[in-house]
Chains A and B, each alone.
Chain A
């Protein structure tokens, strides 16, 4: 079953074609990596999926429903969750409250929210920091908090925009395990620069270049694709 598709999705910024005519299909349960050089249009593309920015043309279909005209909050309630590339948390609020805000939209009752918050913080390894102001966390921990805020929503589609940026080696390994543990239940669209993370976690890879889909395939196919190598993989571990 296809959970998400786009048809002819495009976005221009003052004449610049950031995303151009993208047809994209994401089957339910898959972990899909979206890769591409800086400025390829990855963030713009996923922002149009979740309604953060409006497309110039094309449509987004989520779970069989055309959601192109829906505002972001309605798409999120349909089961999308989005984590920002540039860390965006409630810096003055406690870590647990950050996650609780993400949980409360779909959970009622303080006890249930608390349970879900504790579980999500446990999953990313921030349980012992629950009562700190989120702004006091180290950068890497703020990234993990963002991931926890995504997880706690128990989304059907989790969109992660460069989640491992700023994480330590050990944290990256934990992150890969975490993502793989979610496979099957949660569909994940992962924008990722770290090729080792892509190779280790993704079922399937889409490559975006100059706003267009350049190639799609398994991680191994993508790695072997000469076009992709020319555009992007010049330095394999970039």
Chain B
């Protein structure tokens, strides 16, 4: 079996399992999984830039929030339909990614991390500053009637799970497709040896900018869908915390693997969920496990599987 067939089977298989799980999962986990799939989509977006292109951003919450607020403000003030609002969220993320990418990519390494962090902080403070419209920290709720997309009520758990799965499937397949395409291969080449890629005739800046936009676009779409599915838009999603989360998820699951973002998000979600049932010091448990994984599985869970068993894993 060729590597392409195997990977189609694996990723298609995961999507089928996720589809089937909704019929057997108890309500609590059913709801969790919907949330995890949306957050994993965000992580997939992050992984395009961090895992595949080798650029570490500390400000991705700005893209997630741009999508969420683009969607939320569109519904709240422009009375957009949910479909149009999702597009508005995506557009907001893409425009922001273009501007931030264009400026931040003039720096490298630690400076790039700092610049992205600063841009994200600027957006966070802007959201708080315009509290009159954004309702700042408190955020605002998107009412149930505003969440009916093409006659489908997205506040209903079954529909919500479905929508989350659809988003996740699209993001997963897009990232899988991207890294098999010549342009995705160039991103990997830039991560592996930028100077070599440049001297093979590739325009490094243009490719990195494209990576920021794809990554920011996916993140924004995830943010928009998150707001729509769970009916809430708030400034927390623009905070530093939400920039760190996707980094942790991707590191845990395996940077530069297609499945890593999902595995990492799932793992960390339940790690915090289970440990908080046991003790109030749940962040301590989560921290210890994180340290253990980074010590013993340096390439993340899926990364280690690839290193040890399945070299064909994309």
Contacts and interface: CB of A to CB of B under 8 A. Distances in A.
Nearest to A110: B182
Contacts of A71: 203
B199 A101 contact: no
B193 A105 contact: no
Interface in A76-104: 76-77, 82, 84, 88-93, 97, 100-102, 104
Contact of B193 (A76, A82, A90, A102): A90
A77 B201 contact: yes
A72 interface: yes
A51 B199 CA distance: 9
Among A50, A72, A97, A153: residue with most chain B CB under 10 A = A72
B156 interface: no
Interface in A191-237: none
Contacts of A101: 185-186, 189, 197, 200
B199 A90 contact: no
B202 interface: yes
Contacts of B202: 73, 105
Interface string B194-220: 011111111110000000000000000
Contacts of A105: 200-202
B192 to A, nearest CB: 4
Contacts of B204: 73
Q: Which of B182, B197, B202 has the most chain A CB within a 10 Å cutoff?
A: B182
Contacts of B182: 104
A7 interface: no
Contacts of A91: 192-193
Interface in B141-160: none
A143 to B, nearest CB: 14
Contacts of B34: none
Contacts of A153: 200-201
Nearest to A76: B201
Interface residues of B, number: 17
B85 interface: no
A104 B207 CA distance: 15
Contacts of A72: 198-199, 201
B90 interface: no
B199 A76 contact: yes
B201 A73 contact: yes
A209 to B, nearest CB: 26
B195 to A, nearest CB: 6
**Interface residue tally on A, bucketed by range:** 20 to 34
Nearest to B256: A92
Contacts of B189: 90, 93, 101
Contact of A149 (B185, B192, B198, B200): B200
Contact of A82 (B186, B197, B199, B203): B199
Interface string A7-22: 0000000000000000
A71 B200 CA distance: 12
Contacts of B200: 76, 101-102, 105, 149, 153
B198 A89 contact: no
B185 A104 contact: yes
B246 to A, nearest CB: 23
B247 interface: no
A76 B195 CA distance: 13
A142 B188 CA distance: 19
Contact of B203 (A73, A88, A93, A97): A73
A24 to B, nearest CB: 20
A105 B188 CA distance: 15
Nearest to B197: A101
A93 B188 contact: yes
Contacts of B196: 84, 88-90
Contacts of B185: 97, 100-101, 104
Given A93-B188, A93-B192, A104-B182, A84 B201 contact: no
A187 to B, nearest CB: 17
Nearest to A155: B201
A153 B188 CA distance: 19
Nearest to B199: A82
A229 to B, nearest CB: 35
Contacts of B201: 72-73, 76-77, 105-106, 153
B199 A52 contact: yes
Contacts of A106: 201
Contact of B195 (A77, A88, A93): A88
12 contacts: A52-B199, A76-B200, A76-B201, A88-B193, A90-B196, A92-B192, A93-B189, A93-B192, A97-B185, A104-B185, A104-B186, A153-B200
- Report, nearest first, the 8 A-B pairs whose CB atoms are least far apart: A76-B201, A90-B192, A105-B201, A88-B196, A73-B203, A104-B182, A73-B201, A102-B200
Interface of A: 50, 52, 71-73, 76-77, 82, 84, 88-93, 97, 100-102, 104-106, 149, 153
Given A101-B200, A102-B200, 5 more contacts: A73-B202, A89-B193, A90-B189, A90-B196, A101-B186
